[in-house]
Structure 1
Amino acid sequence: MSEHNFIAGAWCGAAGGGSYERRNPARGEDLVGIIPRSGPADVDAACAALEAGWPEWAATPHERRVEILNRAADLIIERVEAYAEDLTREEGKTIGASRMEWKRAAANLRLYAGEAVRMRGETYPSADGLVYSVRAPLGVIAVITPWNFPISLPSRKIGPALATGNAVLFKPSEATPLTGRNFVQVLLDAGVPTDAIALLQGTGAELGHAIVTAPQVKAVTFTGSYAVGAAIHGAAGPGRRLQLEMGGKNACIVMPDADVSRAAAIIAQGAFNLTGQACTATSRAIIVGDNHDAIVARVAEIASTMVAGDGFDPATKIGPVATRAQYDKVRKAIAMARAEGLELALGSDSLPDLTEEQGGFFVTPTIFANVPTSSMLSREEIFGPVLAFHRTASYEEAVALANATDYGLAASIVTNDYATIERFARDIDAGIVKINSATGGVSGAAPFGGIKNSSNQTYREQAGLGVMDFYTTTRTVYLAA
């Protein structure tokens, strides 16, 4: 069995000896690896080792931690081709997208290396001596990440955690074990101490509760579904810091003054880039006025040229859906939409039933037109290349429909009217507001996060004022004269 866990300074299997197979979602005959199926005993061992070892890392000078993170970024660039190939094999995205994601991870590490030296405290007036504050690390941070961005997301959580002197317990998705292993290896090779990081492979069902409730874990940063985020919130209990970024049901509103071709290109990019497997992907297009049919036709024309296939094929624009479970979820959503009698503008009525060994979890872009607000396509996150079009008569109706969801991650509008743009930025219930661009795609130098059920809204991820606050606590020091 491959040794894909890293606990107490050593690569190892699961304590109980369990394992699972991970196969290429594009080609099921390609066995990616035999991966440890870790359990609570592995959590206990990892947490004990991190608790004992992290004080030395916390005491490491900022300059040394910065040097190590920058070295890790350099190593990523040197190894990007091999690491990108592993990512495409296990997750399915195109090799170009995998290269870009690893390069984004390197940029993230450099960003947080810079943030580490900018942290500062304050001094306060006092008649009795000097009073000042400093930022201090929390201890052990649990990092739980999904499969859709298996290196971009971990790098923007583990980067600031290490930069601020914390130890990291990293639990990647069971669908992307190689990328998780590669990231830990590159950090170790750059100089991160072996007792400052641990890697646990396995399923959330078998590991999640033990990680979240471990007494050594002072904070949990999670990106994934709302159901899992809510379970983490319920299990964590008081006194444990949480950063939860969850799902989205993102809408793109198109106003009557928008250019049809431009609007269609924005919608197609937002809906079908990365096979629609992004929390910021466009799943609803809300058309104000009379351009619904023209925009549907143009988006269908664009999407019909997007070839679905193996991520290593240069002709491929859309890789497979990453897992059998997700493939089945998309299949079910399409079947339910057809059962509702919805108008299929592009795509297949049904998808074949495939096994992990068969692979080939391909879903071509699927578009439904004239979708009523009562449809499940208007409410439920599908996380695949499925797009619902809605007709509305006014801006007010469009915004009300866009806001009529439990989620509030991203939203966009296509218009040339500046008054409407300013109004939209005030009216829309979303943490990310895009103007004349797709809902997907964000700057690494800006805050990331949603509202409502998309986030617990305590600490924003990625960048901006206060980004390092989640990973540190304030100590106020009273120095008597």
Structure 2
Amino acid sequence: MRQTITRDDRSTAETTALDGIYVDGRLVRPDGAQYFDVRDPATGRVWNRALDATAAEVDLAVRSARRAFESEEWSMLRPADRAQLLIDFGSAIADNAEELSDLQVRENGKLMREMFGQTKLMREYFNYYAGLAQLPLGATNATHLRGMVNYTVREPIGVVGAVTPWNSPLLLLVWKLGPALAAGNTVVAKPSEVTPLSTVRLAQIASEVGFPDGVFNVVTGQGAAGRALVEHPEVDKVAFTGSTPTGKAIAASAASRLARVSLELGGKSPNIIFDDADIEAAVTGAVAGIFGASGQTCMAGSRILVQSTVYDEVVERIARRADAIVVGDPREDESQMGAVASRAQYDKVLEYIGIATGEGARLVSGGVVAEVPGLKEGLFVRPTVFADVTNDMRIAREEVFGPIAAIIRFDDEEEAVRIANDTEFGLAAGVWTGSVPRAHRVAGLLRAGTVWVNNYRKTSYATPFGGYKQSGLGRENGIDAMREFSEEKSIWIDAGQGIKDPFNPRA
């Protein structure tokens, strides 16, 4: 259902700066376009609007990307020149980091310092992919045939549809945008309707540094816009970050025309604390792993598995640390946790608190909304800790995407691994131990795409990230991402063997 603006807390400059789709290097507001509210979850107020794109507007953006892909201005661009554009883009993002961070905080309510840190880091992502843009990713292959030379090259796929979430809207787009552009593709991004405007501004910056028109386009909108992009016959690859059910629907749609797809989906990640761990460090890691970003991250360590010999101590320490977290205005330096990003997500978090209580989990911290002075309409929830959780409870099996920790007891290493792997997800996991052999052994047994040992929630542009099982398909970041956004071509050259007539064996 389309929404319309219901109240006006915006300045004229805010209203007109970003409320369009970004196509062919310019902001476009089609006649008769509909718009929807963009709310600040920390204040509860509407502060801007975004264009609710239809299939016709999505088609406009995709056709722009197709023209740009086939244009000599992009397809024939030297790798060194493409690399320089990526470097310039990263520098411009760093120069505009304060503005881009503020936009994201106003959209999703996360801490300013976290958004600012992510935004500044994007320069390094683009510098990294600028290097890979100039790196020959093919190979010369030895074959069993004399007089024949074989080598492979990697070529761009074409038009990429990038569908991105609201929790880290720009960084998670850059995970796709960097390798996609470095490989020579063009992109149409569809950000979450919760966080649409920061992505429009990012596309404007790309044009300002010299990317050809149509190379990076943005369509804002609600569910219909996303479906139109995923189903568009001119989209050659869909790269999606979001929930597992939506990812499955995207994969099914893409499969109907054999479009390429990569999916970074949900998680219910185990953070395992053994009794030989540095308990203080493990508690710090467990608290950061679930309450960082208000728990609104796919890799959140939402299941904290604790060995029975230290269980009571760890539960008490985690509860005490959770009680001490300052929930407040995400723009204030003293705040340690910001708002939940949207009313729908806020209601979901509160619902799961009720579900966990009803299932018999023991509430040891939080479980209530947070009152923040001056922000009565804000969407704030206290960090919540449940102990005595069993792995068959919904709170242990379903992704909440909020600040709720579920603490589960285990007796020995075998049981810890069994509980950790007893999930439909397989995105990430943590292991806390003082034993080097155990660290390697357990990391090898966990069915997860990323395992941290004595740390948690670390990523890098140079290392692959992705999930096992229903946590996704493919990998983002690192050289693997360049392969995800390119096709491999095998080329054979006759170096003297000569063609043999298969119909004349005596020839």
TM-score (norm 1): 0.94
> For residues 229-266 of structure 1, what are the alpha-carbon distances to aligned partners after superposition, in whole Å with 9 as ceiling and x for unaligned?
00101111242111001000011111122232222111
Mapping of residues 363-442 of structure 1, within 5 Å: 363-438=381-456, 440-442=457-459
Alignment partner of 1:304: what SS?
A: helix
CA distance in 1, matches of 2:391, 2:494: 65
Q: CA deviation at 1:443?
A: 2.4
Q: CA deviation at 1:309?
A: 1.3
CA distance in 2, matches of 1:396, 1:403: 11
CA distance in 2, matches of 1:207, 1:17: 13
Alignment partner of 2:80: what SS?
A: helix
- Residue 471 (structure 2) aligns with: 454
Would you say the 8 A contact 1:4–1:177 is kept in 2? no
Which 10-residue stretch deviates more, 327-336 or 415-424?
415-424
CA distance in 1, matches of 2:174, 2:390: 40
Q: CA deviation at 1:358?
A: 6.9
| 2:51 counterpart of 1:32 | no
Q: CA deviation at 1:437?
A: 1.1
> For residues 307-327 of structure 1, what are the alpha-carbon distances to aligned partners after superposition, in whole Å with 9 as ceiling and x for unaligned?
111111121110101111111
Q: Which runs of 4+ in 1 moved over 6 A?
A: none
| 2:161 counterpart of 1:174 | no
> For residues 404-462 of structure 1, what are the alpha-carbon distances to aligned partners after superposition, in whole Å with 9 as ceiling and x for unaligned?
11000111111111221121012111110111112x22222211011000012xx3111
| 2:482 counterpart of 1:468 | yes
Would you say the 8 A contact 1:5–1:199 is kept in 2? yes
- Residue 96 (structure 1) aligns with: 113
Q: CA deviation at 1:403?
A: 0.8
Find 2:354's aligned residue among 312, 323, 335: 335
Would you say the 8 A contact 2:26–2:204 is kept in 1? no
| 2:289 counterpart of 1:274 | no
Would you say the 8 A contact 1:252–1:413 is kept in 2? yes
Would you say the 8 A contact 1:14–1:39 is kept in 2? no
CA distance in 1, matches of 2:82, 2:199: 21
- Residue 20 (structure 2) aligns with: 4
Alignment partner of 1:133: what SS?
A: strand
CA distance in 1, matches of 2:187, 2:379: 33
Would you say the 8 A contact 2:370–2:381 is kept in 1? no
What residue identity is the alignment partner of 1:448?
F
Distance 1:34 1:418, change over 3 A: same
Find 1:219's aligned residue among 237, 247, 250: 237
Find 1:64's aligned residue among 81, 87, 92: 81
CA distance in 1, matches of 2:27, 2:170: 20
What residue identity is the alignment partner of 2:69?
W
Alignment partner of 1:407: what SS?
A: coil
- Residue 461 (structure 2) aligns with: 444
Q: CA deviation at 1:467?
A: 2.6
CA distance in 2, matches of 1:255, 1:128: 60
Q: CA deviation at 1:131?
A: 4.0
CA distance in 1, matches of 2:344, 2:32: 25
- Residue 184 (structure 1) aligns with: 203
In our comparison, the structure showing a higher alpha carbon Rg is 2
CA distance in 1, matches of 2:137, 2:441: 37
Any stretches of 5+ residues in structure 2 without a counterpart? 1-14, 496-507
> For residues 56-92 of structure 1, what are the alpha-carbon distances to aligned partners after superposition, in whole Å with 9 as ceiling and x for unaligned?
2121111111011100111111111122111111111
Percent of aligned pairs with the same amino acid: 34
Find 2:99's aligned residue among 82, 93, 106: 82
Would you say the 8 A contact 2:52–2:225 is kept in 1? no
CA distance in 2, matches of 1:432, 1:129: 41
CA distance in 2, matches of 1:167, 1:79: 23
CA distance in 1, matches of 2:31, 2:391: 50
| 2:125 counterpart of 1:108 | yes
- Residue 47 (structure 1) aligns with: 62
Distance 1:277 1:25, change over 3 A: same
Q: CA deviation at 1:479?
A: 4.3
What residue identity is the alignment partner of 2:364?
A
Distance 1:12 1:323, change over 3 A: same
Would you say the 8 A contact 1:112–1:160 is kept in 2? yes
What residue identity is the alignment partner of 1:37?
D
Mapping of residues 91-240 of structure 1, within 5 Å: 91-124=108-141, 127=146, 130-203=149-222, 205-236=223-254, 237-240=256-259
Alignment partner of 1:187: what SS?
A: helix
Would you say the 8 A contact 1:130–1:480 is kept in 2? yes
- Residue 36 (structure 2) aligns with: 20
CA distance in 2, matches of 1:100, 1:450: 25
CA distance in 2, matches of 1:76, 1:45: 26
CA distance in 2, matches of 1:206, 1:74: 34
Distance 1:44 1:327, change over 3 A: same
Would you say the 8 A contact 2:20–2:51 is kept in 1? yes
Would you say the 8 A contact 1:24–1:359 is kept in 2? no
Would you say the 8 A contact 1:14–1:37 is kept in 2? no
Q: CA deviation at 1:130?
A: 4.8
Alignment partner of 2:471: what SS?
A: coil
Alignment partner of 2:382: what SS?
A: coil
- Residue 277 (structure 2) aligns with: 258
Q: CA deviation at 1:16?
A: 5.0
Q: CA deviation at 1:294?
A: 0.9
Alignment partner of 2:220: what SS?
A: coil
TM-score (norm 2): 0.89
CA distance in 2, matches of 1:132, 1:296: 58
Q: What is the number of residues matched between the two proteins?
A: 471
> For residues 376-404 of structure 1, what are the alpha-carbon distances to aligned partners after superposition, in whole Å with 9 as ceiling and x for unaligned?
11101101110011111111111111111
Distance 1:15 1:343, change over 3 A: farther
CA distance in 1, matches of 2:483, 2:252: 23
CA distance in 2, matches of 1:238, 1:452: 23
- Residue 341 (structure 2) aligns with: 322
Q: CA deviation at 1:297?
A: 1.0
Alignment partner of 2:353: what SS?
A: helix
CA RMSD of aligned residues (A): 1.9
Q: CA deviation at 1:359?
A: 4.0
